Structure 1
Amino acid sequence: MSNIVKTERRDFLCTFLLVSVFIFQIYSNTLSSSWHLDDNDNILQNTYIQINSLDLSSFANTLISGADWSAPKFYRPVSCVTFALNWYFGQDDPTGYHIVNISIHIIIAFFLYLVILQFMQIVDATQEKSPKHHFVALLGATLWAVAPIQTQAVTYIVQRMTSLAAMFTIFAIYSYLKARTEEKYIRWGVFCVLFFIAGIGSKENAIMLPASLLLLEFSFFRHHVSKQKIGWIVVASSAALLAGLLAAHFLLGKNLLNIFELSRLIDSYEDRSFTLNERILTEPRIILMYLSQIFFPLVSRLSLVHDIQLSTSIFAPWNTLPAIAIILALIVLSFIFLKKYPIFSFPILFFFLNHVVESTILPLEIVFEHRNYLPSFFLFVPVSFLIAQAIYTPNRLSFVGRFAIIAGTVCFLVISGHATYTRNLAWANEGTLWTDGIQKAPSSPRAAGFLGRWHQKNGKIKEAYFYFQKSLQNSHLAPTPEQSQLAALQALGEIHYTLDQYEQSLLYFDQCLALKKDNMYCLTNRAQSYIQLNLLQKALNDAEALVAKYPSYLFGKYLAASVSYQLGELTKSQQYMQEIIIKSLDKPKGLYLMGLILLKYKSYQNALFFLQKAVNLWPSNVEYWITLSAVYYFDNDYKRAEKILADIFDKHPISTIKDSINEIEKHDFHPLVINYIVNIINSHINIVFSSLE
């Protein structure tokens, strides 16, 4: 008996290693892939997950680290804790995050193999250790794992939320099967419940687990239990589903209970470019598109964005009604043949069941490929079963026929793996991802906007402007049109601002604020444009509007303090600066401004305190150093003032020094001070020329 157990464990270990090597190979080119889209809000700018120690208080903060981190709330805690651990060990280096994501994918593939193996042993109990069972399980799990459609859930870092929910779901299914087939059912039942909770804590679509287990029960165990037990199973599954729904609603802040009130559900579509009816009619076409992407692994049809024509009725476009009919037929036929052919029916019903959360009535975006990660678990089982039947059934096919099927299967695996590897190349950086997106979805305002940002970041202003204009023109096609329009207007205004075209930038910021009067970014940018145009009172109005609307926004207070200072309203400026300093002593601009304010009050020692901190934080800023030397001059410490100016001359070109002197002249320093600084610099120039002679 012990030898059998050892052999079985060795076989499982070999299977795990085989699957691991294959998966890691096709995902090996993702380790240096950059951050994308929602990675920014959820990780890079989310201070709640950016922990520096492993104490309890740090982990407690991660539990409220939602993407809207300006208003923290309990949010997908399991996923966020894993991001926090990644941050602790590697900060913003994406390599560690990718390693974890690939590892999760490998673990899921292995447990999917174990679950399919149990399915086969239940369906065909006469052959408990049949090689055919292992073949079906291994091939079904591998085909799922290497399918290129899974790249969005694995390579897109933030979609770890999706893969974690899937991982805990397959753990729970495995535990449930163990509870139904082994004596220690209580232990496995407890594991199943714990995995269900962890799944919901990763992402809300794990909420469908109780319904999935109910489907599994009726598919594989129906003839083993009494009607009374079936009743209890239905009640327990319904209670678990309701508990998960309430947990997601009240603990995770998801308004899932809106689905029970039609008016509130319709209102939730207010910001979308589509209605509830349009989404319901369009999703059947999307589901069929997903299925085609799963079974026909063409990289050319995979993208983070898609141009989708909405269905406005069952006849427009023409393929709406056929899509609905095909899906209904698949579901009905699967129910009819569920008892007789569970290996074929269960995967289809599981697929549609687990699309209920993200592909039906909730006001989510129309299409995302990662939504198939969990639902597609068992889709390749029927294919694997048919291949196994052909190979392992004696006299079914000739040697040539079996060889052809085996060769075809191997070729399909290689093609799928290569397609996955190729698809991952698009995720290398934002430029490659959004170039790929705009090629496959030319009308996508999201692809145009992000590609514009990429070009802007890389100094290609002309290209950036083109794509921002394109994003603005197509903003009505975005899932959230107003948000897309605001982003494009802001980006166009920023480009004009960076080109010192402040009047043109105001045109875009004005449009942005006409659309949403209290938009933080456009108010900030318009205030800065007003400052550049010396329209200080208008700048102060915008800055004070920022302070009133966003009291925790420190840069808004800094703008208000800075403009108040320039308008000579020192008391008001000082009040704003004191609020900033209380909350932050690590912002050089704020510290510098506080030093200038104190200088106006002739509080030289206090001014020196803040200015010294400012230059320590920003040692390359010549203006800060010259101002510091001026304050030493005011404080009669001429030796330090001259030493600072000498160091500036030694380290920086004359042109930079000249520009910095022009800047500090704006602070209304006494002419004697400016003359003193210029004379010191000139004396150093004379010394240099004298040494050359």
Structure 2
Amino acid sequence: MDNIRHQTLFLLAVIALIFLSYINTFHSPLILDDRASFVEIADIYIDDLSLDSLKQLSNTQFGKKRLIPIITFAFDHYISDSNIVQFHLTNILIHILATIALFLFLLSLRKTDSGIKALFFTHPGPLFALAVCALWGLNPVQTNAVTYLVQRMTSLAALFYLTSLTFYIHARLSDTLIKRIMFFTGCLVSAVLAFLSKEISATLPPMILLVESLFLSPGLAGKIIKAIKARHLLLVVFTLIIILPLIQRPWNDMVLAGYYQRDFTMLERVFTEFRIVVFYLTLLILPLPGRLNFDHDFSISSSLLNPISTFSSLTFLLLLLFLAFKIRKKHPLITFGILWFYLNLIIESTVVPLELIFEHRLYLPSMGFFIAFIGLVDLFFSRLKTTSEKKQKVFALLIIILASFSSMLTTTRNYDWRDSLSIYDDARKKSPNKPRVYTNASKAMALQGKFDEALAMQTKALELSSHNREEYITSANNILAVYNSRKEYDQAVAFGENFLKNIKPNINFRSFHNLMYNLAYSYHKTKQYKKAFSSCLTGLTYQPDSFYFVAAELEQILTAVNNDEDLRQDFQLEGEKIDIPVRMTIILLTVRQYSEAAHLIERTKKKFPDNEKIIALEEIIETLVENNKKAVTLSNIKNDETYASNIPFRLCMDLADFILNNYPPLISIIDSLLNKAESIDPENPFIPLYRIRKHSRLKQHDLALLETEKALKRFSEFPPLLNVAFNLYNTQGNRSKAAITLQQLLKVYPGNSAWRLYDLYW
């Protein structure tokens, strides 16, 4: 009883220390992805806790993939009126719950036969689990997953990951059917919650297999390997040959395509990650605040031998893996900890084209590190020649000292998060050659009115940044913002024009619209209204849904012009009050924001109920919206009458579509499938469309063009066909035919994304 009381008190002490270590973060600011992830998203603000609100939350940029964290962010907004303290409290609570979940998971492992035999000195009671939880939960590395608010996604995934594993072990150890059903249900529900929190939880199924093979059915893997015959291997090879083509498209779309925006290749990333994983280990061993960095700058490994530390890191990691395999029977917990660490880094530290390094990626893997570490400490203490009582006292004292020291380091590290300037400037000092840290530090300085320092920082960021990085445009935009804040509008215009004059075609245009809006403001203030208006339209072309960020600026420009008789004519204004909302509506129609245009006209109509211009615009919007709906309906084969009513036709078209998208080895049978479909419905426009797709997939461009021109004679108003035709003409450099096709496409489908290219052809 005393033991249980002491252990409960120790766990409560760990929880209290965690809370105290993060108590100085309640007012830590939003940084980097925070605003874009859960602040500047309209759908995340809910009015109630209904099912409709839940559906609304699934419409955010994360969709259903990270629905659980989004629900918690929405709940924080809802109950606290967006008070940042509430968000930090929730993050700390999740971290505490994850620590408790880790404790319960380790206790469940200790209930297995292998778990009982795996430890020597800490064999009785939950001493092992308490030690792991104390060192993991209080390690300063976790600040990047707890104090950085958006990384709640990581901590929630870890929480449900652990609960799923715990339920699985209890289900496997249960002696009654009811208990098994109950625990397996808990395992499944927790797994779903983990999958809906973050993609890192994809390692849960192999982790369950690892738990099964090391603790629940030790030796099972060896028996399976021994039972494998040549025919089984042939079956596996045959299965892989069949399955591999299915992986090709996801591999291209989700992996290879991502490297176009990176400064490194896939091979360079893998080589670099060998060094980063070793660096991660050193961070866990020595997590001094001076070594921790919100935004690390890691040099690229161009080959296995450049730098040579790449090869030595790989050698070390392979030796560690070999050691884990060798000791798996005698020390399964140490093996488990090592494999846990590797397995939970495999998604974010191998081929997926993410940024190279972030400390929050250690949140889940570091549990394995501390499992292995305490396993080694247990082994060391078991060999000391002294009494068990003395060993326990020394062990407890060691853990208390390490936990207390970790708590102090965590508190110290969290002090760097006290405001946006402190955390960004800390990163700038530690990563002096990384453009983003200067960009972020500059923003923070500008907010504090330190414009000279901010300008110097942004200039440095621009010098360091390459054209294809987002920071290149962001830095230029921030320089404009600083000039505008200091009311140095002529300098802003001169800088902006010079920047645009020297801009490269391969730049990252992600925040280009913001640059154009800031330049528009500079033009406006220098009374260059035409240029100001043109800059706003350019920005809207790149980011049409950003209208309300620039609406006030546009309105001020148009109002100034409307009051000037000499300028009105150039802007098609007549000096009447209604001209402003009418022109704003036309702008919205130009950038295909029909819903917003309708709302603006509706509001304007209340002020000018019988105005002819408003009535005419209403009719135009109605026609455009109707054409869009019709085009979208026609473009979806599921709305096709034959497809819906004729099963053989549907099977032929679905199989052809599947092969085109996912299974190129069978592309040779597409013609027979389409011929069969054509015999059922000779006038169906989707059949020639699929033939064109087949020719394009096989790079038979001449045949694709021939089929396109033949099909256009029959289906001249079919939106998908016009879209394909425009892309083909555009690719082949036939500008005249591309222009005619684009004009026809926008006539039948005015909202098609190709509208942005219209000015290039007309």
TM class by smaller structure: 0.7 to 0.9
Q: Could you give the per-residue CA deviations for residues 348-373 of structure 1, whole angstroms, max 9, x where no partner exists?
A: 01111111110000110000000010
Of the three residues 354, 372, 375, the one matched with 1:385 is 375
Residues 129, 168 of structure 1: CA spacing in aligned structure 2 closer, same or farther, 3 A cutoff?
Answer: farther
Provide, for residues 496-545 of structure 1, a one-character-per-residue CA deviation record: whole Å limited to 9, x for no partner: 22333323212443355535679211221222222222222222323333
**Equivalent of residue 145 in structure 1, options 137, 140, 154:** 137
Q: Equivalents in 1 of 2:313, 2:452: separation in Å?
A: 43
Q: Which residue of 1 aligns with 2:263?
A: 273
Q: Secondary structure at the match of 1:301?
A: coil
Match of 1:627 in 2: none
Corresponding position of 1:108? 98
Q: Which residue of 2 aligns with 1:570?
A: 573
Q: Deviations over 1:13-36 (max 9, x none)?
A: 545423321211212211222211
Residue in structure 1 matched with residue 336 of structure 2 by the alignment: 346
- The question of 1:358 aligning with 2:348 is answered yes
Q: Which residue of 1 aligns with 2:42?
A: 47
2: CA distance, partners of 1:523 / 1:371 = 35
Instruction: State whether residues 148 and 417 of structure 1, in contact with CA within 8 Å, keep that contact through their aligned partners in structure 2.
Output: yes
Contact 1:135 1:388 in 2 (8 A): no
Q: Deviations over 1:41-92 (max 9, x none)?
A: 112212211223222222221112227xxxxx44411110000000001133
**Deviation of 1:410 (Å):** 2.7
Normalised by the size of structure 1, how large is the TM-score? Answer: 0.73
- 1:518-537 → structure 2 map (5 Å cutoff): 519-537=512-530
* 1:66 lines up with 2:69 in the alignment: no
Counterparts of 1:436 and 1:482, CA distance in 2: 22
Q: Kindly report the root-mean-square deviation, in angstroms, between the aligned alpha carbons of the 2 structures.
A: 3.8
CA separation of 1:229 and 1:437: change in aligned 2, threshold 3 A? same
Distance 1:226 1:149, change over 3 A: closer
Residue correspondence of structure 1 range 196-345 to structure 2 within 5 A:
196-223=191-218, 261=251, 265-345=255-335
Residue pairs, 1:530-569, within 5 angstroms: 530-552=523-545, 553-565=547-559, 566=561, 567-568=567-568, 569=572
**In 2, Cα distance between equivalents of 1:320 and 1:366:** 14
What is the number of equivalent residue pairs in this alignment? 565
Task: Give deviations 1:439-494, integer Å, cap 9, x for gaps.
Answer: 21112222111111111011111111111111112213xxx952111000001112
Matched, 1:510 2:497: yes
1:154 aligns with 2:146: yes
How many Å separate the matches in 1 of 2:273 and 2:23? 33
1:258/1:264 contact within 8 Å kept: no
Letter in 2 for 1:191: G
Which residue of the other structure, out of 466, 469, 486, is the alignment partner of 2:473?
Answer: 486
Aligned to 2:488: 501
Deviation at 1:330, TM superposition (A): 1.2
Counterpart in 2 of 1:455? 445
CA contact (8 A) 1:105 1:163 kept: yes
Q: Is residue 66–residue 75 contact of structure 1 (8 Å, CA) maintained in 2?
A: no
Once residues 228 and 383 of structure 1 are traced to their aligned partners in structure 2, the CA distance between those partners, rounded to angstroms, is 30
Which stretch of structure 1 is more off in the superposition, 509-518 or 374-383? 509-518
Q: How many Å separate the matches in 2 of 1:285 and 1:523?
A: 40
Answer whether contact 1:299 1:423 (CA < 8 A) is retained.
yes
Contact 1:148 1:423 in 2 (8 A): yes
Q: Deviations over 1:378-435 (max 9, x none)?
A: 3222332344455577844698777655544332222111111111111111111012
Relative distance call for 1:486 and 1:195 in structure 2 (3 A) is: same
Equivalent-residue separation in structure 2 for 1:229 and 1:534 (angstroms): 79
Deviates more, 1:219-228 or 1:264-273: 219-228
What is the identity, as a one-letter code, of the residue corresponding to 1:182?
Answer: S
**Aligned amino acid, residue 501 of structure 1:** E
One-letter amino acid of the counterpart of residue 136, structure 1:
F
Give the CA deviation at 1:556: 4.2
Report the AA paired with residue 506 of structure 1.
V
Distance 1:444 1:497 in 2: 25
The answer to whether the 8 A contact 2:136-2:366 is kept is yes
For residues 560 and 414 of structure 1, do their structure 2 counterparts lie closer, same or farther at Cα, with a shift above 3 Å needed?
Answer: closer
Within the alignment, does 1:17 sit opposite 2:7 as a pair?
Answer: no
Query: 1:535-577 CA distances to partner (integer Å, 9 max, x unpaired)?
Result: 2222232333345554431344554454344132336533134
Change (3 A) 1:413 1:195: same
The reply to whether residue 417 of structure 1 matches residue 404 of structure 2 is: no
How far apart in 2 are the matches of 1:258 and 1:504? 51
Relative to 1, partners in 2 of residues 1:134 and 1:9: Cα closer, same or farther, differing over 3 Å? closer
Q: Structure 1 residues 448, 129: closer, same or farther in 2, change over 3 A?
A: closer
Q: Work out which of the residue numbers 158, 162, 170 in structure 2 matches 1:166.
A: 158
- Among all aligned residue pairs of Structure 1 and Structure 2, give the percentage whose two residues are the same amino acid: 27
Task: After superposing the two structures, state which structure 1 stretch, 528-537 or 97-106, moved more.
Answer: 528-537
> Does the 8 Å contact 1:32/1:95 carry over to 2?
yes
Residue ranges of structure 2 left out of the alignment (5+ in a row): 233-242, 562-566, 612-762
Distance 1:576 1:501 in 2: 30
Check whether the contact 1:259–1:265 (CA below 8 A) recurs between aligned residues: no
C-alpha separation in 1, matches of 2:516 and 2:531: 11
Q: Aligned equivalents of 2:42 and 2:217: distance in 1?
A: 50
Could you tell me which of 127, 141, 145 is aligned with 1:135?
Answer: 127
1:493 and 1:507 in contact (8 A); partners too: no
1:271–1:481 CA contact under 8 A, matched in 2: yes
Q: Structure 1 residue 258: deviation in Å?
A: 6.6
Residue 544 of structure 1 contacts residue 556 of structure 1 at CA under 8 Å; is this kept in 2? no
- Mapped to 2, the partners of 1:554 and 1:194 lie a distance apart of 41
Contact 2:157 2:200 (8 Å CA) reproduced: yes
Work out whether residues 514 and 539 of structure 2, in 8 Å CA contact, stay in contact via their aligned partners in 1: no
1:427 aligns with 2:417: yes
Aligned to 1:94: 84
Aligned with 1:104: secondary structure? helix
Q: Is the 8 A contact 1:175 1:189 kept in 2?
A: yes
TM value normalised by structure 2: 0.67
- Determine helix, strand or coil for the equivalent of 2:293: coil
Residues 51 and 88, structure 1, Cα contact 8 Å, conserved in 2? yes
Contact 1:49 1:80 in 2 (8 A): yes
Report matched runs for 1:117-132 at 5 Å.
117-122=107-112, 123=114, 125=116, 132=124
Q: 1:463 to 1:549 in 2, by over 3 A?
A: closer
For 2:207, give the aligned amino acid.
S
What SS does the aligned partner of 2:367 have? coil
Match in the other structure for 2:180: 185
- Match of 2:629? none
1 CA distance for matches of 2:226 and 2:89? 44
1:299 counterpart SS class? coil
Letter in 2 for 1:159: Q
Cα pair distance change 1:228/1:456, threshold 3 Å: same
* 2:32 alignment partner AA: L
Q: Is the 8 A contact 2:517 2:539 kept in 1?
A: yes
CA distance in 2, matches of 1:445, 1:505: 21
Contact in 1 for aligned 2:439/2:458 (Cα 8 Å): yes
Residues 49 and 107 from structure 1, CA distance in 2 versus in 1: closer, same or farther, beyond 3 angstroms? same
Asked if the contact 2:274/2:314 (under 8 Å) is kept, the reply is: yes
Q: How far apart are 1:144 and its partner, in Å?
A: 0.8
The Cα shift of 1:175 comes to 0.8
